[in-house]
Structure 1
Amino acid sequence: MLISILYFFICIVVIQLVYYAAIFGKFAFAKKQHTVPKKLPISVVVCAKNEEENVAQFIPLLAQQDYPDFEIVLIDDASSDHTLDVFEELEKQYPNIRLVKVANNEAFWGNKKYALTLGIKAAKKDYLLFTDADCYPNSKDWITAMSAQFTMQKTIVLGYGGYEKVANSFLNKIIRFETLLTALQYFSWAKVGSPYMGVGRNLAYKKEVFFDVNGFISHIQVRSGDDDLFINEAANAKNTALVYTKESFTYSKPKTNYKAWITQKRRHITTANHYKKRDQFKLGLFYGSQLLFLITAVVLLAFEFQWMLVLGLILIRYFCAWTVVGYTSLKLDEKDLKYWFPVVELVLIVTQLHVFILNIFSKPTHWK
């Protein structure tokens, strides 16, 4: 029995090493990226629902971007607070702001994709750059950095959307580590020619890409996924570019309590169930091998079965994973996370299992 577990453990370690060294290493060890500015016409698209405080704080930062040709399309998705009032004041203040008012629609109630579709159709520029209402750019050159990656072939650009650091908060480290690990995965898979997702906090594509796949129609019934499900359908090895210079980053305010974060994760995981089967498999194999690595390692060490071999394989796996995560944390300006890797990874694995079990019995339905 134990010998079978040992062989299984060795297979799991090999799978983990392949992911970290052969796939994730493509991004972690990639050369430093340089930006060559372009002057493409850009529509920055922001969809908001009940975000009056955030839009009042962050939209002016978008309006102050140092870029020659851009507009800001603000979409109010039937807010019940003063979001629309704030938008109307901003529209008066900044001449390049275009306002789209979305009324409640019985057929699409609670569906962000409907509101975004109206905003995309209203946009006057050929290239669309998306961020969320609770996000802000890391620099005045955000649009420059993101638009620089567009070429005749590269019509989709994936960026990094991080979360603010909160001092002395372990939950904040978990949230940021998960965001880092997610970025490592979607950047790396794009690097090897198999892009599968992007994040709406920092994502760009040419308008024609949206209409080529009929927008969100193939997954309109899924309440979330305006970013990752769209990219899962539209992106391929030829049309997708990455940007990971610090000027291109955006940041959001993170959840401050465990319950709110779990609710957010449940929605994200539910969306992932609609990825292409091959993408579900490669993600499921990675997360499954993480969990099985821990379980089989504990069992073998508990019985002290071939413990020197087992311990050696554990150290090799952690050395490889820690190195890749460390280099990624430097690239994405999340340096402090590399020191917490073993602890936050363990907590995240347990949390993912918890969320998976919760989603078996019920699923979140609305984006707000």
Structure 2
Amino acid sequence: MITIFFYAFIAVAAIQVVYFLLFGTFAFAKLKRHKQHNLPVSVIVCAKNEAENLKTLIPELLQQAYKNYEIVLINDASSDETQDVMEAFQQENSNIKLVNVENNEAFWGNKKYALTLGIKAATNDYLVFTDADCVPTSKNWLTEITQHFSSTKKIVIGYGAYAKKKYSFLNLLIRFETLMAAVQAFSYAKLGIPYTAVGRNLAYHRDEFYRVNGFINHMKIRSGDDDLFIKDAATGKNTAICFSKNSFTISQPKLSFGAWFQQKRRHVSTSSHYKFIHKFLLGTFYITQVIFWILAIFLLFTKIWMLTLGVFGIRILLQYTIIGFSASKLKEQDTLYLLPILELFLVIIHFGIFITNMTSKPTHWK
């Protein structure tokens, strides 16, 4: 029986090795830029009850070292001072446009409805999206993102990082999960099968939005203004990835495990609407992760523990190599210190999210 378990362990380890080799398409990728200069850009920010965060974000957007852009601020039926903050900045800056969204019975609390109105109001065809609760890490953010547009590349996927907190295991876990999600997203995009993006750092041409009728295919699904749009619109030919350090956005991470768990529940809930190929690839990676860890822990307490340790070591070494190069690109090297422990925690947490989402629906846009 132990021999059978060991062979199964080798099989799942081999599958994991294949996945990490596939992730190498991003880990060893070279940054490609196109000679685009000052394309007319509309930066779109959809905010609901984000008055305080906007006071930080808007000045950062106004300081971008970019000549040809406007800022479209969408007030999505806020009940705080969001509208007042937006109007105050608009009075002092001519390149700010406001869109005030009233609650609509058919689209009550639907961020996609608010974003659609903002896109329609935008002056320019090149649209760059970010969230009210994050900021660009550089004044060259727009320059970096737009340099990836070309005659064929109409969608640009960027990296949305989280701020680092010293001596916080939760912060390390959040950033490691974000790193792994980005590695998969960028790798699949490099392989020609893009499946997701983060709405806090995403850009696309207006034509791509209208080509797939915007969010109409998933308007009734509260989440997914980023990944479900990518599912409909992104292809291997029209999608580029941007991972230069000056192109990142940074958000404040959740400070409690419960808040982060609920956030991840919302994100994971959209995955059931992905294309079959993506569900298969993502599901197989996770399932083999689970089996790998279960068998590894079991076999390490048997008489073949040395063989088990050898297979375990090969897989972990390859993982450190691929994720290490990826972490270096995305400036998340400190997440490598506890990599096996963080991975094991994520495997358990994702299983908990799967079970919880089967029994109840997560809450969505504020």
TM-score normalized by the length of structure 2 = 0.98
1:1-368 matches, cutoff 5 A: 1-21=1-21, 23-33=22-32, 36-304=35-303, 306-368=304-366
- Counterpart-to-counterpart distance in 1, 2:277 and 2:28: 25
Contact in 1 for aligned 2:201/2:248 (Cα 8 Å):
yes
The alpha-carbon deviation at position 4 of structure 1 amounts to: 2.1
Contact in 2 for aligned 1:37/1:145 (Cα 8 Å):
no
The alpha-carbon deviation at position 66 of structure 1 amounts to: 0.9
The alpha-carbon deviation at position 36 of structure 1 amounts to: 4.2
Instruction: List alignment gaps of at least 5 residues for structure 2.
Output: none
Instruction: List alignment gaps of at least 5 residues for structure 1.
Output: none
Percent of paired sites with the same residue: 55
3-state SS of paired residue (2:337): helix
Contact in 1 for aligned 2:129/2:200 (Cα 8 Å):
yes
The C-alpha deviation readout for 1:43-94, integer Å capped at 9, x for no partner, is: 0000000111100111110011111110000001001111111011111121
The alpha-carbon deviation at position 37 of structure 1 amounts to: 4.7
Contact in 1 for aligned 2:33/2:148 (Cα 8 Å):
no
Flag the 1:301–1:340 CA change in 2: closer, same or farther, 3 A: closer
Name the aligned partner's letter for residue 260 of structure 1.
A
The alpha-carbon deviation at position 33 of structure 1 amounts to: 4.9
Equivalent pairs counted in the alignment come to 366
Contact in 1 for aligned 2:17/2:318 (Cα 8 Å):
yes
The C-alpha deviation readout for 1:264-288, integer Å capped at 9, x for no partner, is: 0000110111111111111111111
The alpha-carbon deviation at position 148 of structure 1 amounts to: 0.4
The alpha-carbon deviation at position 31 of structure 1 amounts to: 2.5
The alpha-carbon deviation at position 335 of structure 1 amounts to: 1.8
Contact in 1 for aligned 2:36/2:149 (Cα 8 Å):
no
The alpha-carbon deviation at position 340 of structure 1 amounts to: 2.0
Name the aligned partner's letter for residue 68 of structure 1.
K
- Counterpart-to-counterpart distance in 2, 1:165 and 1:35: 31
- Counterpart-to-counterpart distance in 1, 2:349 and 2:363: 20
The C-alpha deviation readout for 1:191-231, integer Å capped at 9, x for no partner, is: 11111111101000000100000000101111000001100
Name the aligned partner's letter for residue 61 of structure 2.
L
- Counterpart-to-counterpart distance in 2, 1:102 and 1:185: 35
3-state SS of paired residue (2:240): strand
TM-score normalized by the length of structure 1 = 0.97
- Counterpart-to-counterpart distance in 1, 2:34 and 2:297: 47
Contact in 2 for aligned 1:35/1:145 (Cα 8 Å):
no
The C-alpha deviation readout for 1:151-205, integer Å capped at 9, x for no partner, is: 0100000100100001111100000000000000000111111111111010000
- Counterpart-to-counterpart distance in 2, 1:95 and 1:71: 9
Name the aligned partner's letter for residue 16 of structure 2.
Q
- Pairwise CA RMSD of aligned residues? 1.1
- Counterpart-to-counterpart distance in 2, 1:256 and 1:269: 20
Name the aligned partner's letter for residue 80 of structure 2.
D
Contact in 2 for aligned 1:42/1:70 (Cα 8 Å):
yes
Structure 1 stretch displaced more, 93-102 or 337-346: 337-346
- Counterpart-to-counterpart distance in 2, 1:214 and 1:24: 32
3-state SS of paired residue (1:302): coil
Name the aligned partner's letter for residue 27 of structure 1.
F
- Counterpart-to-counterpart distance in 1, 2:334 and 2:256: 21
3-state SS of paired residue (2:49): coil
- Counterpart-to-counterpart distance in 2, 1:74 and 1:301: 56
